[in-house]
Amino acid sequence: MKEKKDRKEIGLAVVGSGAIGKIRAAFARDYPGVGWIGICDINESLAKKLAEETKADFYTTDYKELLKRREINAAIISTDENNHVEPILAAVEQGHRLFIEKPLATNVKDSRMVYEAIKESGVDAVMGYTNRFRRRFLTIKERLRTGEIGEITTVTTRAFMNRMVPIATLRRTELKGNLQPMVVSGTHSLDMSLWLMEGKEPSEIYARSIDKALGHIGTKDATFGIFTMNDGTLWSMNISWALPIVWPGAVYGLEIGIVGTQGVITIDDTHRDLVLASEKPQWAGYRPEGYKPEFERHVEFLTSFPPGDMAFGQLWGPMREETNSWFARLYTGMDTPHATAWDGHRNLVLTMAMCLSADRGTPIKLPIDEEEFYK
C-alpha cells in the first residue's frame, strides 16, 4: 500500500460514453482520488451529455486528443466491442494504466497483438469481469483456495440470457462474424469458472451450437461444450442467449456446480429469489441507447442486471465495487482480484475455440495454434 505522500491523483480518460462508460464515469466523479476526468465518444452529443452529468473537465470526439493530454494517467476503454483495439494501443503508447471492457478485440490476431503490446509496455491493465467482485463468488473462491472440498473433479456451468442483449449488440455493427454467444457474453461465466478452477488448464474442447431463433440476425442461439482439463477434470460450459424478450431475467442467470473429492459447492445465481410482477411495463437495468424491446415485459427477476441496481439515484452493486477497487489499485496500490490482460486474451481464444469446434463438429486440442482460426 502506498504511503499518502506517494499517492498521485488520478487523471482519467473515459473512452466510450455508452451504458457502461456512463456508469464508470459516475463512479469516477465520486472517487476522491480522481482529480481530472476527460470524456470521449464518436457521438458528440453523448460525450457532451456525459461530461455535463459527471462535471468532467474536458470532452471530445477524438480519443487520440484525449489520451495525449498531460492530465491523463489512466484510461477506461468502454467503446463497442469491435472498436477496442485502437484506443487501447493509443493508451498503451502513452503509458496509461488501463481498465478495458471485455474483449481486448473481437478477433484472435488483434487480441494477441494488443496483449503483446500491453505486456511489452509494462502498463498495468485489467479487464472488466464484474462477477469477480460479487460477495458470493469471492466467498466461494476463498473456500476453494483453502481446500474445503478437496481436489476439484467436475464442474458444470450454465448461463441463460434474455435475447435483448444479442439484438441490441448486433444492431450496432455490420461486423457480426465473431459476435457469438460465447465470445460476447459466455466469456463472463467462462472467466468465473476458470478463476474458480485456478491452476487447471484446458487441454481439449468439444462443442455444438444452434441458430434457429437468432440466425437471421447473424449469431447463434446457444453453444454447449465439454472441456477436458490438463489433470482430467471435466467441465461442462453452456450458454443460451436466445431466451425470449419476455423472460424475466434482465440479462444474466448463472448456475455453477463444483464437485471435489471431499465436497461440493453449488451456486444458484439465477435471481429467481427476488421477483417483481406489475401491471406496469418493466425494463430494469439493461437499456442500450436507441433500443426498445418489441414486447412489453411485466415480470422482472430483480438484481439480474450484472452491474447492479439503481437506488436513491445511484447504482449499487458489483460494478461499483469493481470500479472503485480499480481506482484504489491505482491510487493506493491495493491488490485486487481483477482479471488481467492475459485472462482477457485467453478467454477470447477459448470462447472462439468453442465456436470453431462447433463449426467443425470435431474436438479441438488445446492450447490451439491461433492460426487455426484463419484456415
Instruction: Report the mean per-residue pLDDT for the chain.
Output: 94
Does the pLDDT of residue 363 top 70, yes or no?
Answer: yes
What is the tens place of the pLDDT at every residue in 115-154? 999 999 999 999 999 999 999 999 999 999 999 999 999 9
Domains and CATH numbers, the chain: 4-123 (3.40.50.720), 132-305 (3.30.360.10)
Among 241-255, 280-294, 326-340, whose mean pLDDT is lowest? 280-294
- Give pLDDT, residue 7: 83
**Is residue 171 over pLDDT 90?**
no
Region 36-51: what's the mean pLDDT? 97
Question: How does residue 3 score in pLDDT terms, banded at 50, 70 and 90?
Answer: confident
The predicted structure's pLDDT at residue 288: 73
pTM of the entire predicted model: 0.94
73 neighbors 79 (Cβ within 8 angstroms): no
**Polymer length of the chain:** 375
Residue 273, pLDDT above cutoff 80: yes
176 falls in which pLDDT band (50, 70, 90)?
low
Quick one: average pLDDT of 198-226? 96
Name the percent of the chain lying above pLDDT 90: 87
276 vs 375, higher pLDDT: 276
